[in-house]
Amino acid sequence: MIRNYLKTAWRTMVKDKTYATINILGLTIGLAACMLVFTVVIDELSYDKFWSRADDLYKVNSSNKMADGLYQKNRYTPLGLAYMLKERFPEMEQFATINSSEARLRIRNDDLDGIALTVIDTDTNALEMFDFQVVSGQLTPFVAGQKNLVITESFRDRHFKGEEPIGKIIEDVPTWSKSPTSYLITAVIKDIPQNTHLRADAIALTRPPADNGELTKKGIRGGRNIYYMLKPGTDAVAFNDKINSWFRDFMENPNEKKNVSFELQPVTEIYLDSDFDSELTVRGNRNTIYILTGVGALLLLIACINFVNLSTARAMKRLKETGVRKILGAQRSQLVGQFLTESLLFFSVSTILAVGLYRLALPVIESFIGHGLAHSLLANVGTFGVTLALVFAMSIVTGAYPAWLLSGFNPSNTLRGKLFQDRIVSAGGMRKALVVVQFTIAIVVLVALLVVRYQVDYLADKPLGYDKENLLHIGVRNWEGKGETFKTELKKLPGIEAASIAGWSPVDGAVTFRMLPFDHPLKDDEKIEIQCIVADFDFVQTLGFKLQEGRHLNAAYATDAFELNATWQMDSLERHQYINSRAVLITASTAEMLGVQELGVPIPKLGYPPVGILQDFHRESLHHALGPVFILGEQNPDYTRMFIRTTPGMEKQAQESLMKLWRKIYPNRLLDAQWVTDILDKQYEAEQKQQTLFSFFSGLMLFLSAMGVFGLVVHAAQQRVKEIGIRKVLGASVSSIMRLLSADFVKLVLVAVVIASPIVWWAMNKWLEDFAYRIDIQWWMFAAAGLAAVVIALATVSWQALRAAAANPVDSLRDE
């Protein structure tokens, strides 16, 4: 019987090629897109779950209570805390300091700039916590004399072809230290899986650091990026409470005793839940996962709606077949089996094609997201089996309604080509509802695309309060006391207009230091955090900030001179007393926020006499609102960044001159100069990718919706062929018949616009909440999306309607 079901299903598919093509193409696209989307989602959710002790690994973050119940998180915690916890609490098994950073290694002597790679800097304790698979060499014992470097297989294959790297000593191209750091290659390990926030090409090992007294009863100084491994079975929540309870009893500093706490973050959550950690290079976003999951499900839903709609629309063509089968003794269950077999055949053919499309598209997806996927739905038999089982279940669920509808007609009516009136209403009403659902989804995605696009454009075009054009940025450097000399020589070069050494990064908004929390000058019982930028006295002019009132900082004034290095030797109280006596520049919003009435007068409760007010500038991305900023002047900052203003039209010459001077003064150091405009563009890379995704998926959704409408129009025209013939005989024009066939579908699209508008308005307002500066959602966005949907529907309907309207009425009326 199953064999007969399959033969009949195949013949039905071959006989009606238009119906089969639309269904198979729609299901193939829907299935392939859904498989790709869920591959990315599964990969995103799998981060760091492959470590054998993943359930026992935690990252420790600190939390500082601010005003109004707000908390400021920090990835760094005192090394002394880790030592004390290990000594006092049996739950603590091991800890390690871990940092992931970009580096350059000089493999060959003639390779001046080295080879770029990502390196995990850690100590040998990490080898007990994370399981790395050794290919050659040995991870332990630690070989004294220099850092031990463990490289991955792929790095070895790329850079040590035909060589044995074990035992080689190589150097880095330093960006910070005065001299290169030596590394001894001690082992080769299998590639670290891509689905980890510790993604890297190599591991630089040192001995475990000694307790340096960063945690004392008087307060916290410094901090490290520290991971803990708890003993198996430890209740992490209870242990977290125990840590904070012990810290409050231990600490004498009243501010830290009251406001500072620590949080154990599972290593499996770091990738998706570290928005506060701007230094984390491999980072995901839960909202992106929600968006991708929704889009994948909606694409497949539209494809399934097409299948249901076309299957029910074909009911009229199969009435007699169904009636004859029933008269010859076919049970309803047998008819249901036949129609479900047809559904299964369509899904099977579509699945085969979708798998092929999926395999072809995977490299494109990996290129788009910027890294390889650790998981694939075709990677193993189990995963592939689950995928096939889900597709099988989907084919049954999707085919159930058409099977139930087609098998339930009265045979006497079906042989006369008639349905029960209530079934006509039921089937027609269902098809209309499903068309509305299709276009509602498509319109939601279209409006979302418009909102994302205009928000991204707004971010790119919004004035930042400084001149970002023709501005180069050199990352954090140790200038070795030669920064001022380098800057002076630099300004003599052609194409260079100005230069400044400053402790501010346009990459992530990082500043030299933060002052927190201090009593708010105007509001009792409220704290305030102030961002401090320490820069030389050319900073304001080089960046192009606008002075609104007062004067610039000037080295000639004793109060304007600030020495950052001197503050590191002071305790927190001494540092505060020293800093708050220094003159500062502030922004207009800072002056308003702190109630500054007169320049040169220390701010109440704070000190820091402001001598000038700058127009507001955006210190970090537009995701964040303007906060209070102080600029302090230092004559020769030594551990910070540099900004270089170039002459328009002479950018290339300026870069070449910069490189020559750099080689002369810092012959062994790496120069990594980037245009500020390029850096700022990267801040919104996630939004730009979302825009690309919305563009692609909205196109797919509209295409699938148009295909469904096209199929329905084809069948509607076939069902009304005699009606159209009679109308033409009675004098109806081609245009009137086209309006007749098109009107119903246009009405459905307009209903979809009405339903979609409040849904997408709510969703996109929630999305825009992540931006401190954002566009307003405009009415024309809904109108544009609705018009696009109507035009696509009309274009789809009109072609088939024109064919039906232009047909010879003699042919359509001559039936039997």
Where residue 184 falls among pLDDT bands split at 50, 70, 90?
very high
Task: For residues 753-759, give the mean pLDDT.
Answer: 91
Where residue 422 falls among pLDDT bands split at 50, 70, 90?
very low
Q: Could you tell me the two tokens for 63? A: 């939390």
For residues 431 and 142, the model is more confident at: 142
Interatomic CA distance for residues 103 and 344, integer angstroms: 54
Where residue 428 falls among pLDDT bands split at 50, 70, 90?
low
pLDDT at 460 over 60: yes
Provide the terminal-to-terminal Cα distance of the chain, rounded to the nearest Å: 34
pLDDT of amino acid 132: 92
pLDDT at 203 over 90: yes
Question: How many Cα atoms are found within 13 Å in the side-chain-facing hemisphere of 514?
Answer: 12
Q: What single-letter DSSP state applies at residue 176? A: S
Task: For residues 637-652, give the mean pLDDT.
Answer: 88
| Mean pLDDT of the chain, nearest integer | 81
185-194, 456-465, 714-723, range with greatest mean pLDDT: 185-194
Where residue 575 falls among pLDDT bands split at 50, 70, 90?
low
Where residue 145 falls among pLDDT bands split at 50, 70, 90?
confident
pLDDT at 805 over 70: no
Interatomic CA distance for residues 313 and 777, integer angstroms: 38
For residues 565 and 697, the model is more confident at: 697
* Residue 812 near residue 775, CB atoms below 8 Å: no
For residues 561 and 338, the model is more confident at: 561
Interatomic CA distance for residues 663 and 721, integer angstroms: 82
Where residue 5 falls among pLDDT bands split at 50, 70, 90?
low
Interatomic CA distance for residues 486 and 489, integer angstroms: 5
Where residue 226 falls among pLDDT bands split at 50, 70, 90?
very high
Task: For residues 556-562, give the mean pLDDT.
Answer: 81
What is the DSSP code string of 254-317?
HHHHHHEEEEEEEGGGTTTS-TT-TT-SS---HHHHHHHHHHHHHHHHHHHHHHHHHHHHGGGG
Q: What is the pLDDT of residues 342-352, one digit of tens each?
A: 778 888 888 89
Interatomic CA distance for residues 354 and 34, integer angstroms: 10
> What are phi and psi for residue 537, nearest 5 degrees?
-85, 5
pLDDT at 443 over 80: yes
Task: For residues 683-695, give the mean pLDDT.
Answer: 79
Where residue 420 falls among pLDDT bands split at 50, 70, 90?
very low
Where residue 328 falls among pLDDT bands split at 50, 70, 90?
low
**Alpha helix stretches (DSSP H) within 16-63:** 17-45
Interatomic CA distance for residues 512 and 535, integer angstroms: 9
pLDDT of amino acid 423: 45
Task: For residues 43-48, give the mean pLDDT.
Answer: 90
629: left (phi over 0), alpha (psi -120 to 50) or beta: beta
Interatomic CA distance for residues 138 and 136, integer angstroms: 7
> What are phi and psi for residue 739, nearest 5 degrees?
-65, -35
Where residue 48 falls among pLDDT bands split at 50, 70, 90?
very high
pLDDT of amino acid 714: 66
Where residue 570 falls among pLDDT bands split at 50, 70, 90?
low
Q: What is the pLDDT of residues 361-382, one digit of tens each?
A: 888 888 888 888 888 888 777 7
* Residue 640 near residue 503, CB atoms below 8 Å: yes
pLDDT at 516 over 60: no
pLDDT at 816 over 60: no
Question: Residue 572 carries which side chain, given as an amino acid letter?
Answer: S
Share of the chain above pLDDT 70, in %: 80
CB 661: neighbour CB atoms within 10 A? 17
Q: What is the pLDDT of residues 97-122, one digit of tens each?
A: 999 888 888 887 766 677 888 999 99
Of the given ranges (255-264, 601-610, 706-715), which has the lowest mean pLDDT?
706-715
Q: Which residues contact 374 (CB under 8 A, 6 or more apart)?
A: 43, 46, 50, 193, 194, 195
